[in-house]
Structure 1
Amino acid sequence: MSNVTIAIAGRQYTVACGAGEEAHVEGLGALINGKLAGMGNTSGQSEARLLLYAALLLADELQEANERAKTMEEAQALDYEATAARLEALAGQLENADQHS
């Protein structure tokens, strides 16, 4: 186990992580901090509320990415089916051409 210190909204947090995961956790902290920074003027908001907003923004992005990935997988499946149908048609044409030769 390792400890990593990340800065979020001007505060330092020490987080435990597995050995070798330090850079990954630091990157996640930077991502959260970036979300908070992108929210604009957050003065007067509690720390818990700010972290909630950041979590909601990140969850929304994750959901959108999952939906895009699902749509891409479905499109690939349709493309594979269309390609398989074309190959079967070509194979049939080749068989017919060989039988008539």
Structure 2
Amino acid sequence: MSEVVLTVGGRKYTLRCEDGQEDHIRRLAAVVDAKLGDGASQLPAMEAKNLLFAALFLADELEETRKAGAADDRGKIADWLEALAVRLEKTAEALEQAHPNA
């Protein structure tokens, strides 16, 4: 196992991954960081790390789907991503309400 240090949402995270997967994880984290902006810096550390894991898994699934050629049906993928974005926004809002001073 290897370790990779990621910076997402202004926070550093050290994650373990399979040997040789470090660059792949860094690319996924860059995608997540670009979408996230500064929002994660306002979350408590454990919640932010859990959201990071979820976002990395989703980014990986999206990348694998694209590699498999399923990106031909872009309308369905766009709809799925839009629905996912709405769910993530609602989750972020709920977290903000649960921890207004975090």
TM range (shorter): 0.3 to 0.5
TM-score using structure 2 length: 0.43
Higher relative contact order (CA closer than 8 Å, sequence separation 6+): 2
| The structure with more radius of gyration | 1
